[in-house]
Structure formats: C-alpha cells, structure tokens
Chains A and B, each alone.
Chain A
Amino acid sequence: MAETAHPPGQTDEDIAKRVHAGDTEAFGELVQRYEDKLKRYGYRFLSSREHIEDIVQNVFLSAYVNFRSFDPERRFSPWIYRIAHNAFVNALKRREREPLPFFDPDVLFPHPVAAQRPDRDLEMKQWREVLDMLVEKLDAKYREPIVLFYFQELDYNEISEILRLPVSTVGVRISRGRQKLTKLAAEHNLNFSP
C-alpha cells in the first residue's frame, strides 16, 4: 500500500485535526509515530510476556474507533497512552500472579511532590540499566509510572493524566519504585549507587 507523505514538522495535534477533518491517511502517520513507543511501553510494563504486537494494534484500532472523543486542542500523547494503559491493564488482569493493590493509601493521602527529574544524565542511564534487569520484579503500580518516566520520558503531569492519579501520587510511586529497585539491586548484587 502506498504511504502518503505529509509535511514534516507537524505536531500530533495538527495531524489529529486532519484526521478529524476526514483525512484517514493522517491516522497512519500517528500510528507510525507511536507504534514503537507503545511497543516499548508494553514490553517493559508487561515484561514481554504478552502479545504486545496484537495489543498495540488493538490500541490503534480502539483509538481510531473512538477518535471523535479526542479533543485536538489537548495533547495527543496522554490520550493514546491512556488507551494503551487500559489495554495493558486488561492484559494484566488476565494474569493470575499479579499483586492486588486494592487499598492504595498513596491515592488517599496527600504527599509532597517528589523531585521530577534526576539531576544527571548518568543517573538516568543507570536507572534504565537497572530497570532493564529488574523491572519485572516491581509491582505493576510502581512499574508503570517508572516505565513511563524513565523510558517514555513523560513528565509527571502527563503520567498523572494517563494513570488518572494525582501528580503527587505519581511522584510518590516513582520515588518508592526507585527505593524498591535500589533494594532489589542490592539483593541481586548489582553495582548500583544512585
């Protein structure tokens, strides 16, 4: 199938406006932009155990079917990540051995917002290396914000929008996730000192 070329430099939201206006080819461009990102997100969140390719395709199908619910005046990435989050969570639900974070005090009680970005690139790189090895061992509730933050490089506000959690809770989860990873790294004798 011939792929139509569109002017470069357009934002996701510009492309979304074209899709709204009836340019269905433009949707293909959004697929191309987000396919790899969502797959990476899925691989890390679900730890490569699911049919990521199928799930991501379903994410795009669902996005297209419900495209009219997207407001092009808002940012596109949190919207598509939200759909992906729902799809991955549904995949997790089908898994028996996931932990059950039923009562989540993080959401109920306010927290001070943790620092948003690590100060050094080196630190970011270290975290990614550790995450690659240990991310599977984290609870889903810590794993997802950490993956979105370190690998998808989304900020707290975007993560909060995707997960429908207060920004402070996102900060706390990332901070606690880091603590758990540090502990896990020590247990696995990994040389890691953030």
Chain B
Amino acid sequence: MTMRQRILQAIHEHRLTMKPRWRMFLSTSFSFSTVGALALLLLFLESFLIYSVYQNGSAFLLRSGWAGILAFFGTLPWLPITLGLGAAVGLGILINQRTQTYRLPFAYTLGMVIAVILGCSYVIATTTLHPAIAGFVEAHNTPVLHPFYDSLPKTEANQTVVGEVQDIQGQSMTVQNRQGGTVRVQVQASERTGNSKKLNVKKGDVVVVIEKKQEQLLATNAAPAADGNDDEHDDAKPEDAVESEYVHILPEKYQRGVRNDIAEKLKEMRESVKEREDGADTQSTGDKDQTLLKER
C-alpha cells in the first residue's frame, strides 16, 4: 500500500480528521496568553525586586566589596525569587516546546529567559511604574498588593541606613530614617570607596549609608512630638551613631517614596503621642471631678 493510499484510508475511516479552525485558534490563543501571562508575572516580580533593592538600599551593598555582596544576597526575599524561578522554568518549557530550533538545551533557554526578563525588569524598575503602584495601593489599601509594597521596599538590609539628611556638620550628618528615628553618620574619607574629604550631600537628600560599625549612643531625640517638643515620648527611637565610608544619594525617583514613608511614619507617631496625651488629660479631669465630689 502506498503512502497516499494509507493516508486516504485513514481519512475515509475517520481516523484522521481536520481540526476545526476555532480549535486551532483557541489552542494558539491559549499558548500565547499563557506565555504572555507568565512573562508579565515574571516582569512584575523581577522589576518589583529590583525596585525594592534600590528603595531599601540593598542594591548599594553590591558596591561595598565582597562583604556587601554577601550581605546583599542575605537580604534577598527568597519567596518571590523562587516564584519567579518557577515562572521562568514554565516559560522556558513552553518556549522550548513551541519553537522549532535545531536543538536548544533547556538550560540555554532558561538562561536566555532569565537574562531577557532581568534586562527588561531593570528598565521597568527605573520607570515610575512601581512608585505609582506603591502610591495607589497605599492610598486604597489594596489587598494582596498593599502588604507586598509595604514590606520589602521598606525593609532595609542590616548595616544600611536609608533616610533623609536633616543636618550636616562638617563630615557628620543626621539622617531621619523610615522608622522615625535619626541616625548620626560620621562619614570617613576613603580612597578605596571614592568618598572625598568633603561630604557631597546636602540637606534634604535621601541617602543610603553602608555602616562601617554601629553603636547605640543616645536614647532620645528620635522624632518630633505633636507639639514640636521632641523630649518626651515613648515611641522615640534612639539616635544611633554610625561610621561610614559609603554614602550614596538615591536616584531622584526613589527619593520621593522614602520621603513619603518618613512623613507617614512621623505623622503616625505624632497621632499616637497626641492620643496618649488626650487620654491622660481626660483621666486627670476625671480624677479632679472625683475629688470635688468627695469634698462636697
């Protein structure tokens, strides 16, 4: 039997049927949308990670030698990274199945997917997309995304201080951090790190400081109270003093987020102090009334 006969026989016996056009359309659409969804998920996760490590200052650890690099990997959130890797593996499998190249080992495809995604994610992370989403989820308290944006970008790595410069005195500056505390930073000139003898920051800059060593000095002077008096409130974070050879000014687009976080934290602290003071006033008025009643 010839090949032609075998094929025609299969057609006549209905063992071979043409796929309807809609099925092909659905199958192609499904493949494309799966690939698209996985790629978008990956782009979102990876760009969020890159945005976060800039926002919380960890990215600058990479410029601080081996110790900094190790500290950087120590700060990475492994859950989103594992999720991202899972999505990359899925995408790699789909690409390998759907493309007809001579022979593409899976490791190559996976490497290519990761490289492309990281490159694109870096570009996305430099745009205002994530700051905009962060602002939106903050304002609307969006479920799922709010805790997401409220944690990682605001969690600084060990040995780093991220905050707004409040005051500069010679080679020393005071930095207001996101936790509402202040940190005094003594900046050391270093040829190794390129830090010049003159401190190149100005008041209002948002900086990342990689600490050389840290010691707690004062337990006061953390955040302004509601009445502007900083001296008495329990929420006050102690002022730390650190020495640093690495001071980086955050790119402008990341500065806004940090300033907002600081402003929000300070507002929260003021309200908390005010509530406590109001509570104390009410209690004291009540006590006075009780005394008056007894006297009568």
Tell me if chain B binds chain A: yes
Interface residues of A (CB under 8 A from B): 1, 3, 24-25, 27-28, 31-32, 35, 53, 56-57, 60-61, 64-69, 85-86, 89-90, 92-93, 95, 98-102, 140-141, 164
Partner of B11, one of A27, A99, A164: A27
CA distance A163 to B54 in the complex (A): 43
The 4 closest A-B pairs by CB, nearest first: A31-B4, A86-B100, A28-B4, A1-B5
Residue of B nearest to A35 (CB): B3
Given A24-B12, A98-B102, are A32 and B4 neighbors across the interface (CB < 8 Å)? yes
Given A1-B9, A27-B8, are A64 and B102 neighbors across the interface (CB < 8 Å)? no
Partner of A67, one of B5, B9, B18, B105: B18
CA distance A60 to B9 in the complex (A): 13
In the bound complex, residues from chain A placing their C-beta under 8 Å from that of B9 are 1
Given A64-B18, A86-B100, A101-B102, are A69 and B24 neighbors across the interface (CB < 8 Å)? yes
7 contacts between A and B (CB under 8 A): A28-B7, A31-B4, A65-B16, A66-B19, A66-B24, A68-B20, A141-B102
Q: Please tell me if B101 contacts chain A, counting CB pairs below 8 Å.
A: yes
CA distance A32 to B8 in the complex (A): 11
CA distance A61 to B3 in the complex (A): 10
Cross-chain contact B108 with A102 (CB below 8 angstroms): yes
In the bound complex, residues from chain B placing their C-beta under 8 Å from that of A89 are 100-103
List B134-174 residues whose CB lies under 8 Å from chain A. Answer: none
Q: Please tell me if B104 contacts chain A, counting CB pairs below 8 Å.
A: yes
Cross-chain contact B4 with A98 (CB below 8 angstroms): no
In the bound complex, residues from chain B placing their C-beta under 8 Å from that of A101 are 101-102
In the bound complex, residues from chain B placing their C-beta under 8 Å from that of A65 are 16-19
In the bound complex, residues from chain B placing their C-beta under 8 Å from that of A64 are 7, 11, 16, 18
Cross-chain contact A57 with B100 (CB below 8 angstroms): no
Q: Please tell me if B10 contacts chain A, counting CB pairs below 8 Å.
A: yes
Partner of A102, one of B11, B100, B104: B104
CA distance A31 to B105 in the complex (A): 34
Cross-chain contact A60 with B7 (CB below 8 angstroms): yes
Residue of A nearest to B5 (CB): A1
Q: Please tell me if B192 contacts chain A, counting CB pairs below 8 Å.
A: no
In the bound complex, residues from chain A placing their C-beta under 8 Å from that of B21 are 68-69
Cross-chain contact B102 with A61 (CB below 8 angstroms): no
Interface residues of B (CB under 8 A from A): 1, 3-12, 16-21, 24, 100-105, 108
Cross-chain contact A25 with B3 (CB below 8 angstroms): no
**Smallest distance from the beta carbon of B155 to chain A beta carbons, Å?**
39
In the bound complex, residues from chain B placing their C-beta under 8 Å from that of A57 are 3, 6-7
In the bound complex, residues from chain A placing their C-beta under 8 Å from that of B4 are 3, 28, 31-32, 35
Cross-chain contact A100 with B5 (CB below 8 angstroms): no
CA distance A67 to B7 in the complex (A): 14
Cross-chain contact A61 with B8 (CB below 8 angstroms): no
In the bound complex, residues from chain A placing their C-beta under 8 Å from that of B101 are 89, 101
CA distance A61 to B15 in the complex (A): 10
Cross-chain contact B3 with A31 (CB below 8 angstroms): yes
**Smallest distance from the beta carbon of B31 to chain A beta carbons, Å?**
14
Given A35-B3, A65-B18, are A24 and B103 neighbors across the interface (CB < 8 Å)? no
4 new A-B pairs (CB below 8 Å) besides A64-B18, A99-B102?
A24-B12, A31-B3, A89-B102, A95-B103
Partner of A28, one of B8, B18, B104, B105: B8
Cross-chain contact B7 with A56 (CB below 8 angstroms): no
Cross-chain contact A85 with B11 (CB below 8 angstroms): no
CA distance A92 to B100 in the complex (A): 11
Cross-chain contact B8 with A98 (CB below 8 angstroms): no
CA distance A31 to B20 in the complex (A): 21
**Smallest distance from the beta carbon of B17 to chain A beta carbons, Å?**
7
**Smallest distance from the beta carbon of A68 to chain B beta carbons, Å?**
5
Given A57-B3, A68-B18, are A1 and B8 neighbors across the interface (CB < 8 Å)? yes
Cross-chain contact B103 with A98 (CB below 8 angstroms): yes
Cross-chain contact B19 with A61 (CB below 8 angstroms): no
Residue of B nearest to A82 (CB): B100
In the bound complex, residues from chain A placing their C-beta under 8 Å from that of B108 are 100, 102
Residue of B nearest to A64 (CB): B16
CA distance A90 to B100 in the complex (A): 8
In the bound complex, residues from chain B placing their C-beta under 8 Å from that of A141 are 102
Residue of A nearest to B24 (CB): A69
In the bound complex, residues from chain A placing their C-beta under 8 Å from that of B105 are 100, 102
